[in-house]
Amino acid sequence: MSKKESKAKKGSAHFKKPIAKSLIFLFWIVGLTPFFFILYLRYVQTDSDTLPSVSMLENQEELLATTVFADDGMTELGKYWTINRTSVPYNEISPYVISALIATEDERFEDHSGIDAKAVGRAIANMGEAGGASTISQQLAKLIFTLKERDERRAAQQEGLGKTDEEQRVEKMSGIERRLYEKVKENVIALRLERRYTKKEIITMYLNQFDFLENAVGISSASRVYFNKKASELSKDEAAILVGMCKNPGLYNPYGFTVKDYSGRLSARLNISKDQVTQADKKAERESDSLRAISRRNVVLHQWYLNSKKENPALTTTISKEEYDSLKQLPIVTDYQTVDHKEGLAPYFRESLRGKITDILNEKNEEDEYKYQKPNGDRYNIYDDGLKIYTTINADIQKHAELALKKHLKKNIQEPFTKNNQRTDKYPFAYDIKDNTIESLMNSARKRSTRYRSMRRRDISVEEAIASFDKKVPMKVFSWDGDIDTVLTPNDSIRYYKNIMRAGLVSIEPQTGFIKAWVGGPDINHFAYDHVAQGKRQVGSTIKPFIYSAGMQFGVLTPCETTPNISYCVDVQTGSRPEDMTQWCPKNSGSKMKGEPVSFEKGLANSMNNITVAVMSKMGGVAGPRAVAKLMSNLNINLRKEDIVPAMCLGVMDLSLLEMVGAQSAFVNGGIYTEPTSIIRIEDRNGNVIYEHQPIAREAMSEELAYATLMMMQKVVTQGTGASLRGTWRGDWGGITQPTAGKTGTTQNNSDGWFMGLTPDLVTGVWVGAEDMAVRFRSMEWGQGARMALPIYGYMMQGVYKDPNIHISTEPFEEPFGYENSMYNCNNKSGETNEDKTPDFGIF
């Protein structure tokens, strides 16, 4: 063929191509316009009521997550959600996102009224190969349409109904008819949107509605999940990545390819089994996905550059050729944040808060109406209504608390505890625990397990389900250095977990009752049980300050008064007759009793059981327990009848950490008990306050009595069982020289370790132990409160005092006006004996 003929043929081809396009265009316009028009009229005339209203956007209550804030009102602790969506206004979205979205998805966004005729013509002429024709308004309309359908399906499911009439009618349509039917509805909604809302409102609604996957609905959640930033802080590169996802969030996900296995996709595509998929195949597929995300980002950047070059007035920001050339070379870097109800700061606190908020929202008045209701009278929903919960938690104190708890358990406690338990053939149970008790504990653990419950739901017999616990299976187990993949029998895994030390910590601001830190355990994913409010264990010697307070209020002792260091007994009534009496004479723990005089202050400082029994003996076997119970009741601890006995002075009752810290806070707060709270207020999505905390406070003891007890508790730290908190000879948790009162606590057989630390602004309690009291330390070397629990407080307060963002007092405890300090100064050298002075603390 000659050059001339070749040119002629090419020219003919070039000439025929526009003709072909024009013919196709005319075919679509002529052939489908009547159909569109008829369908449009039919739909608008007969199905107008089924169109989702644009007002739905203003009342999409089920799509908005509830956010939990720390005490600064800004730091997010976490969210409760059905769908993780948080709306943000236009001015809190990066202008880079706005410009990149318009440039890529709808460059004539400011010029059209919902439908871009030019884009439609281009799409038809090129059979969709030159880009789609959907405007941002139409894409938003599609989201609304999808949401309405979902709402109808959910309502039908809840009411036990079948498919709606519209769903049945749509099912009978062909594929193209169904898409045209949906397209008409989207166009109608888009036109309505444009009439009702501004362009800024439309683009804001679209960005707040779009599902970016990975539990990230809306630009705010996506920014946090993929880049750990606010939507206003996104860079140009990051904005382009997220806008690129708007085409297909699964295909162009900047993070998904890093965690996918690809076995399923490759086995289906290559027609092989999953076992035949090689690591090389997976790597190649992963790289392909990675390149796909980069390629899509670069398309967005290129469109943004082209629109910048032609000075598109719809753009709020532009990029230059140099920026485009630079940005397209960058690798994709994410700072992915797992979104889960359990992830983030203070997870145990948020789980507890969830129940508290639900209870508040369920409260009803005398008319059987919800006390905190929506304008339409419905109850607020914690998962769907976009509430804002402002809590008392201090994020900085919380961080130090969480780190301290894990540090001590991992660094100091777990290894000696494991060695301690491996010395018995009943691992991890103590050597003196009976076999039937062990089997009972094991069986209880089996029946609480997910494995057992799942098998029973599948109608597997109890015998078969229990037998399965002896068969080895692959599993992932907790370790202090991260989860471990292993193969164990479920029975062995139960024993393994029972050997893991647990702990709880809570800090309260004594003047307000505001909870500032809450750590319910070492890892909520493996140990969901909350040892702050949920768990109740024997409190041991942490009860003793209340015994001494009751004794002083009863008028039977002063701090400096002495008593012989001997064994004491308490008369106990055993029957209804006066002669029905016996004596309770407990043994002392720790130092030997030599008979020398010991002050009551020293007795508390060194946690001497016999001196505490002496206090109870002085009050009497009947009156003493009642006096203590009344004091405890004033501190919001209502003891069981069986606990109100002389033995209560050694802490045999089971109480929660939250109860104990709340009660001990009164010593710092001038004898005033303030009920602990974690909620400041709750607002609806529009910022209207629907609930505000009202403090509950009452006088539990006199200011003088509270201060006298507090001064005795200071000696616990300066001279007594908590002295390692000040020095560093025992461990690296010491060096706390700021004014601190405290109390250690150890229960029977070293099962529980407690420590209470009191400062002028913060009262903290720590508990440490195993899941069962039958799993415990053999000796007091580590099995005492001063070694099990106190170090956690030390590590935490080291961080708190050094943190420039935390401001708590380092001044001495405030002395009450008119307080006779000389009366309680046990080192008084004036020659006057303080024993002769008995202050009037008030008698019960």
Residue 270 has pLDDT above 80, yes or no: no
pLDDT at 829: 42
pLDDT at 273: 75
Residue 456 has pLDDT above 90, yes or no: no
Nearest Cα neighbor of 187 from 245, 242, 112 is: 112
Q: Which two tokens stand for residue 539?
A: 């409190």
Q: Across residues 411-423, what is the average pLDDT?
A: 94
Return the domain boundaries, the chain. 85-327, 429-498, 503-685+699-808+822-836
pLDDT at 412: 95
Question: Among 3.40.470.10, 1.10.3810.10, 3.40.50.2000, 3.20.20.120, what is the CATH number of 85-327?
Answer: 1.10.3810.10
pLDDT at 186: 74
pLDDT at 53: 55
pLDDT at 590: 56
**Residues 6 or more apart in contact with residue 694 via CB below 8 angstroms:** none
Mean of all residue pLDDT scores within the chain: 84
Residue 158 has pLDDT above 70, yes or no: no
Using alpha carbons only, how large is the chain's radius of gyration in Å?
35
Residue of 623 and 55 predicted with greater confidence? 623
pLDDT digits (tens, 9 = 90+) for 87-102: 888 999 999 999 999 9
Superfamily of domain 503-685+699-808+822-836, CATH level 4: DD-peptidase/beta-lactamase superfamily (3.40.710.10)
Q: Across residues 796-817, what is the average pLDDT?
A: 95
Assign 376 a pLDDT band (cuts: 50, 70, 90).
confident
Same-fold call for 85-327 versus 503-685+699-808+822-836: no
Helices (H) and strands (E) in the chain, counts: 28, 20
Of the candidate ranges 225-229, 259-263, 677-681, 705-709, the one whose mean pLDDT is the lowest:
259-263
Of the candidate ranges 415-419, 452-456, 767-771, the one whose mean pLDDT is the lowest:
452-456
- H helix intervals, 133-218: 136-158, 165-171, 175-196, 199-209
pLDDT at 675: 97
pLDDT at 60: 46
Residue 175 has pLDDT above 70, yes or no: no
pLDDT digits (tens, 9 = 90+) for 534-546: 999 999 999 999 9
Of the candidate ranges 1-5, 94-98, 274-278, 766-770, the one whose mean pLDDT is the lowest:
1-5
**Residues 6 or more apart in contact with residue 444 via CB below 8 angstroms:** none
pLDDT digits (tens, 9 = 90+) for 661-679: 999 999 999 999 999 999 9
- Top-ranked range on mean pLDDT: pick from 18-27, 159-168, 609-618: 609-618
Judged by DSSP in three states, 487 sits in: strand
Assign 269 a pLDDT band (cuts: 50, 70, 90).
confident
Q: How far apart are CA 664 and CA 669, in angstroms?
A: 9
Of the candidate ranges 15-29, 151-165, 220-234, 381-395, the one whose mean pLDDT is the lowest:
15-29
pLDDT at 835: 42
Here the contacts of 314-322 (C-beta below 8 Å, separation 24 or greater) are 314/102, 314/107, 314/108, 314/109, 314/110, 314/111, 315/99, 315/102, 315/103, 316/95, 316/98, 316/99, 317/95, 317/96, 317/98, 317/99, 317/236, 318/99, 319/236
pLDDT at 691: 95
What stretch of H or E contains 768?
Answer: strand 763-769
Q: How far apart are CA 453 and CA 472, in angstroms?
A: 18
Residue 478 has pLDDT above 70, yes or no: yes
Q: How far apart are CA 612 and CA 777, in angstroms?
A: 25
pLDDT > 70 fraction of the chain, expressed in percent and rounded: 80
Q: 254 and 334 in contact (C-beta within 8 Å)? A: yes
Residue 644 has pLDDT above 70, yes or no: yes
Q: How far apart are CA 183 and CA 198, in angstroms?
A: 22
pLDDT at 128: 44
Q: Which two tokens stand for residue 808?
A: 């708590």
Q: How far apart are CA 556 and CA 546, in angstroms?
A: 14
Assign 275 a pLDDT band (cuts: 50, 70, 90).
confident
Assign 567 a pLDDT band (cuts: 50, 70, 90).
very high
Q: Across residues 439-467, what is the average pLDDT?
A: 91
Residue 454 has pLDDT above 90, yes or no: no
pLDDT at 710: 96
pLDDT at 65: 82
Judged by DSSP in three states, 679 sits in: strand
pLDDT at 34: 47
Nearest Cα neighbor of 480 from 409, 412, 547 is: 409
Backbone angles phi, psi at 519, to 5 degrees: -125, 110
pLDDT at 489: 95
Q: How far apart are CA 109 and CA 105, in angstroms?
A: 9
pLDDT digits (tens, 9 = 90+) for 307-363: 999 999 999 999 999 999 999 999 888 888 876 667 789 999 999 999 899 999 999
Backbone angles phi, psi at 100, to 5 degrees: -65, -40
CA angle 632, 554, 705 (to 5 degrees): 70
Q: Across residues 710-733, what is the average pLDDT?
A: 91
Q: Across residues 481-487, what is the average pLDDT?
A: 91
Assign 402 a pLDDT band (cuts: 50, 70, 90).
very high
Q: How far apart are CA 806 and CA 793, in angstroms?
A: 16
pLDDT at 189: 78
Of the candidate ranges 142-156, 467-481, 642-656, the one whose mean pLDDT is the lowest:
142-156
Residue of 280 and 26 predicted with greater confidence? 280
pLDDT > 90 fraction of the chain, expressed in percent and rounded: 55
Residue of 9 and 493 predicted with greater confidence? 493
pLDDT at 52: 53
DSSP output for 20-79: HHHHHHHHHHHHHHHHHHHHHHHHHHHSGGGSPPGGGGGG-GGGB-EEEE-TTSSSEEEE
